[in-house]
A and B are shown apart, each in its own frame.
Chain A
Amino acid sequence: MARSVTTQRKTINTVLAWAVGLLIFFPILWTILTSFKTEAQAINDPPIWFFFDWTLENYSVVQERSNYMKFLWNSVIIAGGSTVLGVIIAIPAAWSMAFVPSKRTKDILLWMLSTKMLPAVGVLYPIYLLFIKLGLLDSRFGLVIVLMLINLPIIVWMLYTYFREIPGEILEAARMDGATLKEEIIYVLTPMAIPGIASTLLLNVILAWNEAFWTLNLTAANAAPLTAFIASYSSPEGLFYAKLSAASVMAIAPILIMGWFSQKQLVRGLTFGAVK
């Protein structure tokens, strides 16, 4: 039975939700607007809202100064690569935790999460030295590995919770039919878990995309992603709000667009096992 809702209540909900939504979104909206202003308009007192001469000048200045596509490509490779690699390593682990649980399963999960608590700054030197030894400095591969390791605990946990919701009887049945373990994972388990895997992928791409400590400190010219791109616009000389806004929009636009297209998936999928 669907709840019957009066139009009046629906209107109130709508107005309230839109107001809150716009308030939360406002800083991003303001950044987007500012990116189309001139520097003088950007700091105009009182602030100018919509009625100004929209200009693309800031974007062309930013593009002229730095090779945006290169940073973007590095971000895509690093965020995408680390997530895919992480999921490949995590699926078997999550499978065995979900379907062959032992007394220690929960401890192992929590231990994995606790590895994320090591403060990154404290280990910068050791990791930097290690990277030099291994020749991984300023390489995309090195960052893929580091970000994969950073996010692996989250990936394992998310997958574990999705797998656990898959009824064990279906797997039993497949086993009865003579499916091997490999077939069981590939043909039975994975298709059922696809929504869960998808939201795991999404969340971890976002986390990897926004990671700004290792990506900045372990790169130079070759592997630098968008987090390094933004570091060259953060406080230059003179008026910079408009250019900073343009660079900011360029840094967040790809992931924002991806997020918008997949928001349904995210809203449905981000449970971490919170829903029984």
Chain B
Amino acid sequence: MATAQSRSAARLMMTPAVVLLLGWMLVPLIMTLYFSFKRYLPLRGGDLGWVGFENYVRFVTSSAFWPSVQTTLIIVGGVLVITICLGVLLAILLDQPMWGQGIVRILVIAPFFVMPTVSALVWKNMFMDPINGLFAHLWKFFGAEPIQWLSQASLPSLVMIVSWQWLPFATLILLTAIQSLDSEQLEAAEMDGAPALKRFWYIILPHLSRAITIVVLIQTIFLLAIFAEIFVTTGGAFGTKTLSYLIFQRVLESQNIGLGSAGGVYAIILANILAMFLMRIVGKNLD
């Protein structure tokens, strides 16, 4: 159907978006690369000359580097597993007939509208505070010693906060997918006497695979960049330093732009490795 003319028109129409994004990618990328080979310390007078790969070596040999990669992967992985598992269950539940379905749906998606900063502040102070937090009251009510969430269980706490924020997104997408499921197929299976677990495994789950892929892809992109949640709750202490938080420390707290930029390049590489990995799965699943 595509003629040569419509092809060139199409190319023309794609141009603004492509050019803008190319610029948005290339300008910071080139500047980051440039800084990463420099000794650039704003508090010591700025640009202090070229240093070759020194920043790269220093960043990667720092004792904080590998733990930060590990933390990043744990947070991303943990949140993905939780949001997808709970998201599938919630989506199935919300798809069932019930009274007040609209209101329940509103309640479930509400956390998605809460700014990360606000949600981190609320969780940290009003729930996880070991003395005045609601959890501490709850634990004391049952006669247990309150947990010091953000120091003793820092990573699980963070994963929990972030999962709470992203669960609605996963649920929404999975719910849309479930609603498109052919209900006759399910009923046929039900009449054939297939137990609920089998119906779920052989009919619902395969149908959701595309939606799950989408959730994984989109959430990974956002989760790699989480920042406010860590900044507000632990400030990077207690093993919660992700790669992007480590870069933040190098750039803003240590004011070492060169070192931070080298870290930025590593983060881009890591993100792209993850992306390639994801794209391979997604690519298969998208068409």
Contact = CB atoms under 8 A, between A and B. Distances in A.
When A and B assemble into the complex, do they touch directly, with CB atoms less than 8 Å apart?
yes
23 contacts: A17-B98, A20-B90, A20-B93, A24-B164, A30-B126, A34-B126, A47-B137, A89-B16, A100-B2, A112-B21, A125-B260, A126-B35, A152-B24, A206-B113, A210-B114, A213-B228, A227-B117, A256-B114, A260-B106, A272-B218, A273-B286, A274-B173, A276-B180
Interface of A: 1, 3, 5, 9-10, 13-14, 16-18, 20-22, 24-25, 27-28, 30-31, 34, 43, 45-47, 89-90, 92-93, 95-97, 99-100, 102, 106, 108, 110, 112-127, 129-130, 149, 152-154, 156, 168, 172, 181, 206, 209-210, 212-213, 226-227, 230-231, 234, 240-241, 244-245, 248, 251-252, 255-256, 258-260, 263-264, 266-276
Interface residues of B, number: 107
A125 B13 CA distance: 32
B117 A100 contact: no
A62 to B, nearest CB: 13
B210 interface: yes
Q: Binding site of A, secondary structure by majority: helix, strand, loop or mixed?
A: helix
B115 A210 contact: yes
B267 to A, nearest CB: 4
Contact of B283 (A18, A106, A130): A106
Contacts, number: 302
B105 interface: yes
Contact of B214 (A24, A119, A274): A274
A46 B97 CA distance: 38
Contact of B112 (A118, A153, A259): A259
Interface stretch (B48-56, B149-157, B245-253): B245-253
Nearest to B28: A123
Interface string B5-33: 01101110110111011001101110110
A126 B13 CA distance: 30
A18 B279 contact: no
Contact of A274 (B17, B210, B225, B232): B210
A100 B21 CA distance: 20
Contacts of A130: 27, 31
A243 B35 CA distance: 42
